[in-house]
Chain A
Amino acid sequence: MFARRRFAVLKNLLEYIGLEPGRLHFSWISSAEAQKFQETVKTVVEEVTALGPAKILIKDIRKVA
């Protein structure tokens, strides 16, 4: 099983049903790439913060038994 193909299809599918572009991120990071890890996390946090709280696929446990 190869992650790149699965991610490509999954990302397209989730964005097709209305997940905002920018909420889902993919990256290859080696365990030796500390700096890339730090930079990626920063970007993810910035982009997701800008989008605000999730609007779809939320289950309110208080409403559903």
Chain B
Amino acid sequence: MDNQAIAEEIRSLAKKLLADGVVDCVIGYTQGTVPMRDRPYFAYSPEEAENLTWSSFCCNNLANFARKRADKVAVVAQGCVSRSLVNHIVENQIDRDKLVVIGVPSPGMVDHNKVQAAVGAGKIITEVVEDGDDLVVKGKGFEERIARKTVLRDNCFTCVQRNPVIVDHMIGSPGDDTHGGDIDKVAAPWEKLSAEERWAAFSENFQDCIRCYACRDACPLCYCTVCFVDESNPQWCGKTQDEADVATFHILRAFHCAGRCTDCGACESACPQGIKMRRLTSKIEKDIRELYDYRPGMDPEAIPPMSVYRPDDPQDFIK
């Protein structure tokens, strides 16, 4: 099933759910104002459901918009979004009875930065058409054909759960759960470096951060009423672009997501500077997997690893 056919099914299902009054709103994706930036969309009527789409550029995590809602919503969910929905259920942010999951097997999403790099930096892309396994990238005076698999997002390459974990209505049939990448081989890339090299790699990675907080806003886990960076009394984190302030923000944001991050990649996709936050977050994710044998968002009945303990938890570091 190609993306156009999936989009058509999402639209007809959404129209039916809205017309029958099963849900008040369908949260899905619609075409963005610029190519490759499809955006979240809230359809409240069957007419609005006509605007829903499905493509290789559905990079936002829609679980972000499904929490603490008074109305009943349906959410278009590929593997990672469904895992974040499960995580919200685990954290009591979503009432499962008021949630309808429209499951879509993910084809792996495309990194717009990689497409831009492939056609050349600075070239203005006006249209991207999906043609089977290829993307046809068009702009003024050029047209290029790029294989989808060469421009997948990093996290989609190492994904282990492409099919939705929880489903009420499945679109298409489940496909492969992985893409072939091994997360254990690429997670925590700085581990093999010395302490000094690690800091050099870390500060270089985050040096372009402009503190816009797009990563935080795109993250389904960052739902604190007041984020620690916005607190002013006490001010936990300075507001400058000084290396220490930038580092504090990213270290703490990553740490707050410990045992909760589903590696959906929404942070990296939202970053206007192309910063690779996953080089940091993948370390925590790996630790949680290795220390506590836990993968977030796989089981609605799970107990979050940071809320429990086992008597035999590792404690070599305690003196």
Q: Which residues of A contact B (CB under 8 A)?
A: 1-2, 4-21, 25-28, 40, 43, 55-60, 63-65
Label chain B's interface by main secondary structure: helix
Across the interface, A12 reaches (CB within 8 A) one of B200, B283, B292, B315, namely B283
Cβ–Cβ contact B313 & A8, under 8 A:
yes
Q: Which residues of A contact B306 (CB under 8 A)?
A: 1-2, 5-6
Closest residue of B by beta carbon distance from A24:
B317
The CA-CA distance from A26 to B316 in the complex, in Å, is 10
- Which one of B124-132, B140-148, B239-247 is at the interface? B239-247
B44 within 8 A of A: no
Q: Which residues of B contact A (CB under 8 A)?
A: 188, 190-191, 195-202, 238, 240, 242-245, 247-248, 251, 254-255, 258-259, 280, 283-284, 287-288, 291-292, 305-309, 313-315, 317-319
A20 vs chain B, min Cβ distance (A): 5
A11 vs chain B, min Cβ distance (A): 5
Closest residue of B by beta carbon distance from A57:
B244
B286 vs chain A, min Cβ distance (A): 9
Q: Which residues of A contact B308 (CB under 8 A)?
A: 2
Cβ–Cβ contact A18 & B245, under 8 A:
no
Label chain A's interface by main secondary structure: loop
Smallest CB-CB A-B distances: 7 pairs = A18-B199, A59-B244, A18-B198, A17-B202, A2-B309, A64-B242, A16-B283
The CA-CA distance from A65 to B240 in the complex, in Å, is 8
The CA-CA distance from A5 to B310 in the complex, in Å, is 9
Q: Which residues of A contact B198 (CB under 8 A)?
A: 16-18
Q: Which residues of A contact B195 (CB under 8 A)?
A: 15, 18-21
The CA-CA distance from A17 to B200 in the complex, in Å, is 9
Cβ–Cβ contact A5 & B305, under 8 A:
yes
B113 vs chain A, min Cβ distance (A): 23
Q: Which residues of B contact A4 (CB under 8 A)?
A: 309, 313, 315, 318
B201 vs chain A, min Cβ distance (A): 8
Cβ–Cβ contact B305 & A18, under 8 A:
no
Q: Which residues of A contact B244 (CB under 8 A)?
A: 57-59
* A-B pairs with beta carbons under 8 Å apart, 18 shown: A2-B306, A5-B291, A5-B305, A6-B306, A8-B317, A9-B259, A9-B284, A10-B255, A12-B283, A12-B284, A13-B255, A13-B284, A15-B195, A16-B280, A16-B283, A40-B319, A59-B238, A59-B244
Q: Which residues of A contact B315 (CB under 8 A)?
A: 4, 8
Cβ–Cβ contact B307 & A9, under 8 A:
no
Q: Which residues of B contact A28 (CB under 8 A)?
A: 318
A29 vs chain B, min Cβ distance (A): 10
Q: Which residues of B contact A40 (CB under 8 A)?
A: 319
The CA-CA distance from A19 to B318 in the complex, in Å, is 17
A19 vs chain B, min Cβ distance (A): 7
The CA-CA distance from A18 to B193 in the complex, in Å, is 9
